[in-house]
Each structure stands twice: as C-alpha cells, then as structure tokens.
Structure 1
Amino acid sequence: MFKRFQFIIIAFSLFLCGTLTAQNPPLENNSKLVEQLLRSRPDLFGGILKHVEKYEVQILYTQIDRDQNNNPSFRSFSYRLNAKEYFIKKIFLVSDNDAYNRLYEFIGQRKLNEALWKKGFKNLKLVHRLAIALSAEQNRHTNPFTFYDGDKIIYQQPPGFNPLVFPNKLKTTRRGQGFIRNDSLINEPKDFSRNNYISLANLQGLLKAVMFPEAVKLQQRFLLTEDDYRFLYKYMSMLPAECAYPEYDTMEYYDSHDKFFVFGDSKQRIPPNIRIFNKIGQAFGYLIDNAYIYEKARPRKYAPNLEKFKINYFETRKEARVNVNVIAPASTPASARLFVAGNQPGLGNWDPGKVELKRQNDSLWRFVQKFPKGVGVEFKITRGAWDAEAIYQAGVIPANITFTVRVDTTITLRPLTWRDQMGASTPLGTGIGIAGTVKYFRAVKSAKLRHPRDVIVWLPPSYEKNRQKRYPVLYMHDGQNIIEPRTSFGGHDWRVDEVADSLIRAQKMEEIIVVGIYNSPDRAPEYSDSELGRGYVDFVVNELKPMIDKTYRTKPDAKNTAVMGSSMGGLISFLFVWWHPEVFSKAGCLSSAFLWDDNKILKEVRNYSGPKKPIRVYLDDGSEGLEARLKPGYDEMMALLLEKGYQRGIDLGYFYAEGAEHNERAWAKRVWRPLLFMFGK
C-alpha cells in the first residue's frame, strides 16, 4: 500500500463504518490498537514503523457506530497524534491550488481563519496563497472583486487587509536539509513558521462536519444547501475515469491515484460499491489523506446523508474510451486498409468497409472511439469486406469480439491471417450454399427511408410445380444473414432455407415464402420505436408487402403473415405485430433488445389496457455475453404477456438457450423452434 511513499513524511486520517466490536477506551488511551494493526502486517508497514520519527507518521482512525434511532457516534483511535507538529496541507474542501487561492482571496485572511476557529478548529493557520511567491505582508492583502452579469455589475467587494499578525503556535518549524529558493538550492533546513498548517484532528473534524453534519454541534456545521452537499459528495468521491471534463488518461491517472487508502498504488480498479470521499495533500515532502470510506453494500443506515441526496456516484462520466490496436499478420498486403465493423453506429452498424483504422506503422493499426457506459459492444476486423475478415485460429471463422463498456478499455488483437488467405479447402461458414430457389429485388427505395436495400425471396419446394397453390409469408429482418452464406455476417447464415426445406419435406411445417429484408446503415433507428422505425414499418406494410403479394402467390391475410428477427430485429418484429395485428398475426423474437431506449416497448405493453391482441409471439434468449444482459428484458416481456392473458404453448412460445451466444451461428441452431411455433402442422 505504501510503496510509493517510502521516502516522504506521511499522515493519515480515516473513518469507516463500524466494524470493530470491542468496547474501546477514550482517544488518549487507545493508541495501542492502531499500532497493533500496523505491526500485524510487517510486509506493508514494517519499513515505516522502523522510521516513524523520520517520517513523522500520524494516524487518526474513527469508527462510526449508530444506535437504534440511527444516530451516529464516533470512536477515535490514534497513533502518534500531535497537534503541535507541523503539516503543510491544502484545505480539503477545494480541489487544487487555484481553487484554494480564489477562496482565500474572496474571503480574506482574517475572516477565513477566525470563522474556522469559531467553529472549534483552532489548530490551524491559513496565512498565504499556494504556489505564489508573496511576502507575509503581501499575503495579508487581498484584491477587489467585481462580478458581472453580462455588462451589469451584480456584486463588488473592495480590497481587503488583515491588520493582525497571527502567532506561530508550533513547537518545531524547521524541517529538512535544504530547499529551493528562486531556482537556487539553499543548504539549510526550511523554516515553516510563516506557512499554513492544520492538525490531523482538525482535518478529520472538518471532514466529519461535511459528511455527518447531523452528528456535530450546531456551531461546527457549515451553512450548506442540499445542492452544496451534492456537489461536495460527487467530486470528493469522483475517480479520474469518471470525470467527463477534463478527461484523464486512466493509464496514468488510475483509480487510486489520489485515493491512497485500501488500494494504495496497486493501480487495480476500485470496486463500484466502494466510494472514497477524501482530500489529499502533497507538499514539501509531506503527504496526507483525509478520507471517509463508504461501502455501498452495507445497510443504508451507515450513510443517511448520502442516501438522502440520491447522488449517482457511479455514472459521473457517461462515456468511456475504447482503444482497439490491431497488429496485422505478415501476410497483410502492403496497400491494405483495415476496418472495424460492429453493432454500434460508431462501428459502422456492421458495414465491413465503413469505419477505417488509422495506420500507425507497418504492422500496427489503431481505432479510438467513445461509447456510452453500459452499452454492449460487438465487432470484427476486416480489410473492407466480410470475405477478408481477420482470422485468429486456423480454419475457424471467429465469433464476434464482445464486451460491455464500463471504463476506458484497450484491446489488442493479433490476427493469424485473413479469411481470403485461408485457402479454397478451408470451410468459410456453416452454410452449404442456398437450398431451393431465391429471387432478388435490388436497391428497393422508399420515400420514408434514407437508404435503399436489397430484398431476397425464398420460394418453397412446390412453388414452381403447383401453380394453383398459395403460401403464407414470413418477413425477416437482417435479410442478408438468413439464407446466403456469402452475404451473411461472418460467413454464418441462419440456414433458414435449409431448415425450412427439411421441415417441409418431413411434413413438420407448412410450406411458406420467406422474404428477407436487408438492413441498412440506419439499422438501429429503423429497428426501434423511432421516426425511422415507424417509417420502416410503414414501408413494409404499405409498400413491400403489397409488392410481394402482387408478385407471388401469397396468402395475404394476417393469419398467414408472420415476421421474425433477432436482437434489434427481434424488437422490431414484436412492434410489427403489436402495432399492426390486422396485418401480422405471428412474430418470432429471438434475443430481442426489449430494454432498448429505456425499456420503451416494455412500458408500452405494461400500460396497454385494451382488448387482447390476436397475435402469437415466440420469445427466446441465450445465456452468454450480450444474451445475459438482454435476459431481464426477455423475462419482463414474458411476465407482461402472461399478465395480458397470453398462454404458454398456445399463443406464447418461449425457450431459454443455455450456453447460446448472440450471433448467427446460435440462431441457426434454434431457428427451427420459431418456424414450428408459427407454421408447424
């Protein structure tokens, strides 16, 4: 914990929620407890204990206990506490030298000190600005202030002056062997008699008054509003990775960079259930940490003031930076361009040639992007097309790289080769081509949508043979992934053609026409309850479906019209039947993103009070990666539909795919289930 502090003078102030159960004596008699704790871990504290005089170590630990009425009481344990020894310290209520200097300037030297003394904090003296070379006389003066609202003066304050000279109460003020003055080394101890000082007990008293105002005397409380408390609690506990402005490189400014207790210089992540409210000080070789440590898992009674203000400690910065480094294989062409393709707009919405990585040198490419915290990210690396995606294991088409964005993250990838370099004998996917007959409509446009899209139509085995027969129709989203391996994501299609053909020939399901609608760069908004999403629904209902019904021998009624998709495609499939039960009567919703847009569709279903809609819905979800994060939405939708009167096995199908991931390979393995639910004999 103290590795980086071995050669500087140390002071600590700490108070925690009560964890010690022994009845403890008053402060002046219990220094043995802290010393015993220190000596119990010689691996951590041995080096310091050997030189406590040299390092001028002082420790003050306060335990917080509460009675049956939730009133706090404090038991303090000290080690070498001495208010007359010298400590340089920034006032802990401010964050840096400039903030302190502005406070000093505005309040004035005399008022600042006398106000704190009046509150009982008498072992302190604040007589100069920080990091500004001024004489003692100059520091007794403060400058005038004028506040403007536009061109209007709203407040003026004249220059200030403290006529009093505050005496030095410390017994020892000369420290060290030398110091720097005007860029020159002065080989003698520095005299701190004219510098700021504050005792450790007073520092902890100030922290106690801020964190537990209800537990201190009225005289010691600060006149703070609830907004003031929120502000203090937020920024006293903030981690560098949570700061939105300015942003910090978390490799340099790790969680414990300015929070020394518990985690020290380990650079490990501080668990999200632990918040450390503190102020550190480092100056002239002295270091101090004044901290209150709060574990969120503990009962709420331990921090009523924090709970009262309901501060969102854990999402102070809403975005995190993702760095992707790709070390390309030697077989990469010299003129190659590398791309990242994934499930977010910043990743090109699975367009393999849209978001380019920046080349750093002959073998290193880099991509940097910010994403909202909590979002699930999936992506692959390509050379601009899916038949040239990165391969990491010989003969294996890789699954998506997936993770949840929580903090700044760096991912380094080392592909073995590229898919187009694997050789003709290497299988490129689980599909074996196209089973049956397919037709295409290329670049279908709509005035309601911003991008044209292809449409693929799969015809059942008897379609060309029995020209009197009409067929139900299944409309599917992400149509490029459902039938044709060449166009599907990662070379793995859903195998809808092969599975449907097999079930039809086995007389397990009726013959159907499958219409696959390719997605577009607007996939996310088109597949959700947005303006583009409603435009997409309108396009299918009023433009594409009439075209299909006119071109092919369909059964156009709602009873024989279904819709299916996965992920966002599962969400829009549900919206199709929920909004238009007069057009679609069945929906297959695989791995559906029901939590999208703050649970919007779940709220719509929950608030629906009309008659039961004449629809049948199939729901399923896997257990791995993104699937696990989607499961709460799946569970809630199941519960809501059951409440609305839908019955399992009749008009509500469900399946939990243990071990299944969020990808085409997984959906191909279970697509037979929704096909039989909707069209089974």
Structure 2
Amino acid sequence: MKYWVFIIVIFASCSNPIETALSSKNELIKTVVDNIEKHEVQILFTQIDTSNTGELLFTDYEYNVNSNQYFYPASTVKLPVALLATEFMDRNEQLHIDTPYIENNNDNLHTVSNDIRQIFAVSDNESYNRLYEILGRDYINNRLREKGLSKTRIVHRLSTPDADKARRNDIHFFPGYTEEVIELKNQTDSDITPITIQGINKGKGYKKHGVLKESPMDFSKKNYFPLEEQHLLMKKLIAPEIFPASEQFDITDESRARFLNAMKALPHEAKYNAPEYYDSYVKFFMYGDSEDSIPSNIKIYNKVGSAYGTLTETAYIVDTTNNIRFILSATILVNENAIFNDDTYEYENIGIPFLAQLGREFYKQEKERRE
C-alpha cells in the first residue's frame, strides 16, 4: 500500500527550487525576473519522491501564489470540463465516453472521447464548447465545489458569439440501435454573478469590435481557474487515492487511463499531422520555444491556456529513463502596451520562452537530485 506525505514550502529558503530557477542567469528567465511584478508571475512546483518504506512524498513550493489575484485562465478551463464530462458519462449507466451524440440536430456525430482527444492535442475550442453544452455552468461549478475546487468559476464558452448565454444547445445521445435516444433539451443555466477579487479590471484600455476603449477591461464575468486549484486538480488526476473518497472524481479506471493518455498525447499521436501541429504546439514547459520533436522518454500530462496576454500551464512531467517526475504550474502576463483584446502580446519573444526555460530549470534540478 502506498502512502503520500505532503510538505508545503513557501518561497523563502535558500534551497527552494523555485528561487534557484528564478535566479538563473539565462536571459529567458532574467528578462521576466527583472520586471516580475509587471508580469504577474505565479508558480507552483511539487517534487515527487519515494521513501525507503514505499511512501510517496509530495513536497510543494510556491511563489507569489494568490487565489484572490485574478488572471484570465483561457483554455486551462478545458481540463476540468473535460474531466467532468468524462465523469458525467461514466455516472450514467446508459452512456459511455464513446457514445455518439449530436448537437442541435446537426448531422455531425461526436463523442466525448473524441472531444477530449481534440482538447488536449490542439486545444480545440469547438470540442470544449460542446462539452460545455452537455454540462452547463451550474452543474460544472456545483460539481467542482463538491470536489474541493471551491474558487474555480467556469461560466462561458470560448471564441464563439454569445459565449456566456444561459440557454444551452440541445444534445441527443445515441446509446445503441435497440436503446432510446437520450435527450438533453431546453436547458438554461442561472445568470452569471460577477467576481469581486483583486485585479479583475486590467490594463489601461481594451478593444471592443475594433474600437479602443480607454478604460480597464472588466473580467468580472469571465472564467476563473486559480493556479492553486489547477495544481490541485493535477494531483487529483495522478494520485486520486490520496484524497477523501468524496473529493475523488467518479470515473472508471479505464476512463481515467484513457484521459491521462489523451493528456500526454502529442498532436501526431492524436491524428494531427499538419506541419503547424508540432510536438510542443500546446506544451510550453521545456519545449514550447522549439518545434523539434520531444524525446520519447519525456511524457507531459498538461493543459495550457493563452489569451488576453496571459499564458498559463499546469503539467505533470515524467522522464521514464531517469526516474524523474514532478508537477509544475505557472502563469505569466505579457502585455507591454497594457491594451487588452488587441492581439498585441509578447507571447513568442517573452512569455513562451520564459515558460519553456522555467520547465528546463526545474528538470535540470530534478535530474541533478537523481544523480
């Protein structure tokens, strides 16, 4: 039987791996550290070890983590919604993640398993939106609270008109030739309650319908997925047994294995073979600033988000050759002109290189610990 021990360390000790990473002389790190408050950086890092008696040890470190300081989570919200959709299907005896369904009488057949494949392989928005239509914001948020993610708030679709509308599209599931169609029809969610935390109004201006508005952009009715709860959810995925049964997600072992496999799959492994879908297309840590192939011994179970100048990733990183495994979550804002929704952000020259190098810094430290 395996036991887990948690040790939490705040960013203070001279042996703190986050401090070591941020003290790197690498310019990709230094560029951000020199203006780190402006970039709203938050970092969580968990070392994973095994004791001589078989205990699995989690040692947590954090930097500037504040669940009451808002940042836009972008596509990271696809992770909990995909997990909840898996659970929703598993909890219904007539359904399965491979059960075909259609949305709004459209002829195109989908499955939750295929939606999940697309979400993790290329961060597909339409797949996420379909799962949102199945679940709805009331179910999503109530269920997340039940599972210990009380500060997360998911209230809208992504990159689509009327993303926050309360009325949801109809869904028709087709369990089999001899079974009746299961319908989710006429579903309407409650109105959105604005968030009231720090940093909810951002920047000095924003663009709306191409017109510059010279006032901060209001994010109070947007999604929120704080970094500490992203990190927590990753732990619940890779080690559900360490949490009370009431806080574990109710999915089968088969569904969990398939979910984790989808999380780590590279685009070409998920049937995306176009040149633009290189290995690190949606994996920022360690490899995000390169289009080279990711070595086969490196497995990255992750979800990234990128929007409004904010880049975020939570990842469980495993090196099967060197017996390395750790969890890393980080977010960074790169919006030099402080104008939101203008598509002018420093993703490629500051944000993604920083996250890539940050991942390499922690990997290097972990490798040295194993030597």
Q: TM-score, normalised by structure 1?
A: 0.38
In the other structure, the counterpart of 1:78 is 62
Instruction: Output the CA distance in 1 between the equivalents of 2:234 and 2:258.
Output: 15
- Secondary structure at the residue paired with 2:281? helix
Alpha-carbon distance, 1:218 to partner: 1.9
Deviations 1:372-427 (A, max 9, x none): xxxxxxxxxxxxxxxxxxxxxxxxxxxxxxxxxxxxxxxxxxxxxxxxxxxxxxxx
- Cα gap change, 1:103 to 1:41, in 2 (>3 Å): same
1:220 aligns with 2:260: no
Alpha-carbon distance, 1:56 to partner: 0.8
2:71–2:199: 8 Å Cα contact kept in structure 1?
Answer: no
Alpha-carbon distance, 1:130 to partner: 1.0
Correspondences of 1:143-222 after superposition (within 5 Å) = 143-148=169-174, 149=176, 153-163=180-190, 165-222=192-249
Alpha-carbon distance, 1:40 to partner: 2.7
Q: How many residues align?
A: 275
Correspondences of 1:301-380 after superposition (within 5 Å) = none
2:7–2:58: 8 Å Cα contact kept in structure 1?
Answer: no
Structure 1 unmatched ranges of 5 or more: 1-23, 304-681
- Cα gap change, 1:112 to 1:40, in 2 (>3 Å): same
- Cα gap change, 1:69 to 1:100, in 2 (>3 Å): farther
In the other structure, the counterpart of 2:365 is none
Structure 2 letter corresponding to 1:240: P
Alpha-carbon distance, 1:287 to partner: 0.6
CA RMSD of aligned residues (A): 2.7
1:31–1:80: 8 Å Cα contact kept in structure 2?
Answer: no
Alpha-carbon distance, 1:164 to partner: 5.7
Instruction: Output the CA distance in 1 between the equivalents of 2:313 and 2:163.
Output: 29
Alpha-carbon distance, 1:195 to partner: 0.2
In the other structure, the counterpart of 1:53 is 37
Instruction: Output the CA distance in 2 between the equivalents of 1:207 and 1:99.
Output: 21
Alpha-carbon distance, 1:201 to partner: 0.6
- Secondary structure at the residue paired with 1:289? strand
- Secondary structure at the residue paired with 1:294? strand
In the other structure, the counterpart of 1:586 is none
Deviations 1:486-509 (A, max 9, x none): xxxxxxxxxxxxxxxxxxxxxxxx
Instruction: Output the CA distance in 2 between the equivalents of 1:154 and 1:196.
Output: 32
1:279 aligns with 2:303: yes
In the other structure, the counterpart of 2:103 is none
Instruction: Output the CA distance in 2 between the equivalents of 1:25 and 1:230.
Output: 27
Structure 2 letter corresponding to 1:37: A
Alpha-carbon distance, 1:157 to partner: 2.0
- Cα gap change, 1:216 to 1:152, in 2 (>3 Å): closer
Instruction: Output the CA distance in 2 between the equivalents of 1:41 and 1:219.
Output: 45
Structure 2 letter corresponding to 1:290: T
Alpha-carbon distance, 1:167 to partner: 4.5
Instruction: Output the CA distance in 2 between the equivalents of 1:124 and 1:264.
Output: 26
- Secondary structure at the residue paired with 1:214? helix
- Secondary structure at the residue paired with 2:183? strand
1:256 aligns with 2:280: yes
State which of 97, 107, 110 in structure 1 corresponds to 2:125: 97
In the other structure, the counterpart of 1:65 is 49
Structure 2 letter corresponding to 1:246: Y
State which of 293, 314, 321 in structure 2 corresponds to 1:297: 321
Alpha-carbon distance, 1:71 to partner: 3.9
- Cα gap change, 1:215 to 1:152, in 2 (>3 Å): closer
- Cα gap change, 1:179 to 1:164, in 2 (>3 Å): closer
In the other structure, the counterpart of 1:141 is 167
Alpha-carbon distance, 1:151 to partner: 9.8
- Cα gap change, 1:205 to 1:269, in 2 (>3 Å): same
Alpha-carbon distance, 1:25 to partner: 6.8
Identity of aligned residues (%): 32
Instruction: Output the CA distance in 2 between the equivalents of 1:299 and 1:182.
Output: 51
In the other structure, the counterpart of 1:246 is 272
Instruction: Output the CA distance in 1 between the equivalents of 2:213 and 2:307.
Output: 17
Structure 1 letter corresponding to 2:151: N
- Cα gap change, 1:293 to 1:230, in 2 (>3 Å): same
- Secondary structure at the residue paired with 1:141? coil
In the other structure, the counterpart of 2:21 is 37
Instruction: Output the CA distance in 2 between the equivalents of 1:102 and 1:31.
Output: 46
Alpha-carbon distance, 1:29 to partner: 5.4
Instruction: Output the CA distance in 2 between the equivalents of 1:283 and 1:222.
Output: 28
Instruction: Output the CA distance in 2 between the equivalents of 1:183 and 1:145.
Output: 34
- Secondary structure at the residue paired with 1:160? coil
Alpha-carbon distance, 1:156 to partner: 1.5
Q: Which one has the bigger strand percentage?
A: 1
- Secondary structure at the residue paired with 2:289? coil
Q: TM-score, normalised by structure 2?
A: 0.67
1:141–1:162: 8 Å Cα contact kept in structure 2?
Answer: yes
From the CA coordinates, give the structure whose radius of gyration is larger. Answer: 1
Correspondences of 1:436-455 after superposition (within 5 Å) = none
In the other structure, the counterpart of 1:267 is 291
2:206–2:213: 8 Å Cα contact kept in structure 1?
Answer: yes
Structure 2 unmatched ranges of 5 or more: 1-5, 83-118, 327-371
Alpha-carbon distance, 1:190 to partner: 1.1
In the other structure, the counterpart of 1:619 is none
- Cα gap change, 1:156 to 1:253, in 2 (>3 Å): closer
Alpha-carbon distance, 1:80 to partner: 1.1
User: Of the two structures, which has the highest relative contact order with CA contacts closer than 8 Å and spacing of 6 or more?
Assistant: 2
State which of 136, 141, 153 in structure 2 corresponds to 1:125: 153
- Cα gap change, 1:223 to 1:70, in 2 (>3 Å): farther
Alpha-carbon distance, 1:129 to partner: 1.1
Instruction: Output the CA distance in 1 between the equivalents of 2:238 and 2:78.
Output: 13
- Secondary structure at the residue paired with 1:224? coil
In the other structure, the counterpart of 1:397 is none
Structure 2 letter corresponding to 1:113: N
- Secondary structure at the residue paired with 1:279? strand
